[in-house]
Chains A and B, each alone.
Chain A
Amino acid sequence: MSEQAAVRTDGLGKRYGSTWALRDCTLEIPAGSVTALVGPNGAGKTTLLHLLIGLGKPSAGRVEVLGLSPRRDAAVLLPRLSFVAQDHPLYRGLSIADTLKLARKLNPSWDEERAQARIERLGLDPHRKVSKLSGGQQAQVALTLALSKEPELLLLDEPVASLDPLARREFLGAVLEAVADTQMTVVISSHIVSELERVCDHLITLVDSRAQLAGSIAEIVASHRLLTGPRSDAASVARVHQVIRESHTERQTTLLVRANGHVYDSCWEQHEVDLEEIVLAYLGYRPGANRWEAGAEEVVPV
């Protein structure tokens, strides 16, 4: 994995009126990674993606994409990235062929051969109107446009939310094949974790407009543990490790912790936790309530 960052934000925030849609967001997305941006609806995922492509001006902080400023350097930056908005909007009245033609005229860099080849591989008739295509086919056409620009960075906003399982698999497969070919960086926002575990190698969770967990998925999974033991106070564990979630029954205490190295306390039984459970714990975790503020370093470079 390259050490270079494709995206770097520092204290980035966006306010609409008195409401912060994104707040104090500091993160790095490594070049060449496939990063999942996970969070409940309204957490700020789309806002973050919009700031990355210069749609909207940050209210606070800084953002750098491929080493450039999305607004100041838009003319140089935009040809190097592709953004597929939620529900893959296309001109419904155009045929596939006309859609490609429009995209060719609008984009300075465009690989026509690749675009045609993809449409052919998908088994789509170029004369068909976009409105006559299934949701999965429309998504594939939108992806064809995005990939034929040969972007260095591909941003996908909830790309599979509206697709059936087969179409999801085909869509994500097409993205990953392109990654294998070109080593581009991909950011996929989603509220579905289970699907992204295979597909992504990095993950960022956005909750309540803040970035919380950020890093390599392998490292995230390796560092979190579920501890169970006789009912006790979490305080001694919390001195060394970060307690993400605790629950108690009359006789038993269960802690989900981000372990800081080994957990040496033999009164806890340790279990591995899968990514989905870790993410859910973070999504249910309210910042500002208690330990979170102390763990501010959790908003770390990926």
Chain B
Amino acid sequence: MIEFHLDSRSGVPAYLQLVQQVRQAIRLGILRPGDQLPTVKEVVATLTINPNTVLHAYRQLDLEGLTEGRRGVGTFVAESRPAIPASDLRSLRTTLDRWVARAREAGVDEDTIAALFAEAIRPDSVSRVA
């Protein structure tokens, strides 16, 4: 079982913070396949948070295939998905290395590279200027 926490100053929506904490816990092995997540009511009680926010987070996790909601029983960590093929990862990495090299050549410093990358992977990148 994991215990959720919320950082109200992070600017990350509450539902996404819950999603990220579950993802991270699965990655670190704190949550294993078959483990049950806290019930919506338990999360509501510990965090004083809107139940719809918790439902939203759990739906998102279900959609990503990380968990499995069983009606009337609870939400459980799903069997792990097949890993992404190593060749795909290698090829992605090569592309990224090339991009970083280009950025360095252009005189972009590390902080700016990190900022650009962080912005590019944000799910809601609507705010980017076209």
Assess whether B127 is in contact with A201, with CB atoms less than 8 Å apart: no
CB distance from B126 to the nearest CB of A (A): 6
Contact flags A249-288 to B (C-beta < 8 A → 1, else 0): 0000000000000111110111110100000000000000
CB distance from B26 to the nearest CB of A (A): 24
- With A268-B129, A274-B11 known as contacts, the answer to whether A34 contacts B50 (CB < 8 A) is yes
A271: B residues at CB distance < 8 A: 127
Interface of B is mostly: loop
CB distance from B5 to the nearest CB of A (A): 12
Which range holds the interface residue count of chain B? 20 to 34
6 closest pairs, A vs B, by CB? Answer: A180-B51, A180-B41, A173-B48, A176-B44, A264-B130, A201-B52
> Does residue A197 face the partner (Cβ distance < 8 Å to B)?
yes
Cβ contacts A to B, 8 pairs, < 8 Å: A34-B52, A172-B48, A176-B50, A177-B41, A198-B53, A218-B13, A263-B129, A266-B130
CB distance from B105 to the nearest CB of A (A): 23
- With A180-B44, A198-B6, A198-B8 known as contacts, the answer to whether A1 contacts B52 (CB < 8 A) is yes
**How far is it, in angstroms, between the C-alpha of A194 and the C-alpha of B44 when the chains are bound?**
18
Assess whether A265 is in contact with B44, with CB atoms less than 8 Å apart: no
**How far is it, in angstroms, between the C-alpha of A268 and the C-alpha of B130 when the chains are bound?**
11
Assess whether B14 is in contact with A198, with CB atoms less than 8 Å apart: yes
Contact flags A25-55 to B (C-beta < 8 A → 1, else 0): 0000000111000000000000000000000
Which range holds the interface residue count of chain A? 20 to 34
**How far is it, in angstroms, between the C-alpha of A269 and the C-alpha of B13 when the chains are bound?**
22
- 8 A Cβ contacts from B113-130 to A: 124, 126-130
A177: B residues at CB distance < 8 A: 41, 44-45
Since A201-B52, A266-B129, A269-B129 are in contact, a sample of 13 more A-B pairs with Cβ atoms closer than 8 Å, ordered by chain A residue number, is: A32-B52, A34-B50, A169-B48, A173-B45, A176-B44, A176-B50, A181-B41, A198-B6, A198-B8, A262-B126, A270-B127, A270-B129, A274-B11
Question: Which A residues contact B (CB, under 8 angstroms)?
Answer: 1, 32-34, 169, 172-173, 176-177, 179-181, 194, 197-201, 218, 221-222, 225, 262-266, 268-272, 274
CB distance from B10 to the nearest CB of A (A): 10
CB-CB nearest in chain B for A173:
B48
- 8 A Cβ contacts from B22-61 to A: 40-41, 44-45, 47-54
Assess whether A198 is in contact with B48, with CB atoms less than 8 Å apart: yes
- With A201-B53, A272-B11 known as contacts, the answer to whether A176 contacts B48 (CB < 8 A) is yes
B45: A residues at CB distance < 8 A: 173, 176-177
Assess whether B130 is in contact with A262, with CB atoms less than 8 Å apart: yes
**How far is it, in angstroms, between the C-alpha of A271 and the C-alpha of B11 when the chains are bound?**
11
